[in-house]
Structure 1
Amino acid sequence: MPLLTLPQETVIGDIISYANYKLMTKEGRRNRYTFAGAEYFKRMKEIGLYSINGEEIKDKVSSLKLANIFNTKLL
């Protein structure tokens, strides 16, 4: 089965990419990257990823062909 790559158009894909990038810097290794953390929370809002609208989130996930992806059996 191919590996799942979560696109940066999703919050989870973006935080993985962003944290990996930041961890390559000396200053970035001092921080923690969480959804509730001030630095990443600010980023989510700036790049338009933050939403509490369930339908908007569902539509975005569906448009990326990721609906129910975590319900898929891997083995």
Structure 2
Amino acid sequence: MPPLTLPKTTAIGDIIAYANYKMMTKEGRRNRYTFAGAEYFKRMQETGLYSINREEIRSRIEKLNLLDVMNQKLV
């Protein structure tokens, strides 16, 4: 099975890419990156990734063909 790449159009894919990018700087290594953290939470709002609307989130994930991807068996 090929590795799963989570696109930056999802909150999880974006936080991984964002944290990896920030960790390359001296200042970035001092921070922790979480969904509830002020810095990343603000980014989610600015990029339109923050939502509490389940249907909106489901639709976004469905369009990326990632619906139930975490329920698939790897072996």
TM range (shorter): over 0.9
Distance in 2 between residues matched to 1:8 and 1:73, nearest whole Å: 24
Task: Structure 2: give runs of 5+ residues left out of the alignment.
Answer: none
Segments of 4+ moved more than 2 angstroms: none
Residue 14 of structure 2 is matched in structure 1 by 14
- Stretches of structure 1 that go unaligned for 5 or more consecutive residues are none
**TM-score, normalised via structure 1 length:** 0.99
Corresponding residue of 2:72: 72
The 5 Å alignment of 1:20-39 reads: 20-39=20-39
The count of corresponding residues between Structure 1 and Structure 2 is 75
Give per-residue Cα distances to partners, 1:16-58, cap 9 Å, x unaligned. Answer: 0000000000000000000000000000000000000000000
Corresponding letter in the other structure for 1:30: R
Between the aligned residues of both structures, percent identity stands at: 71
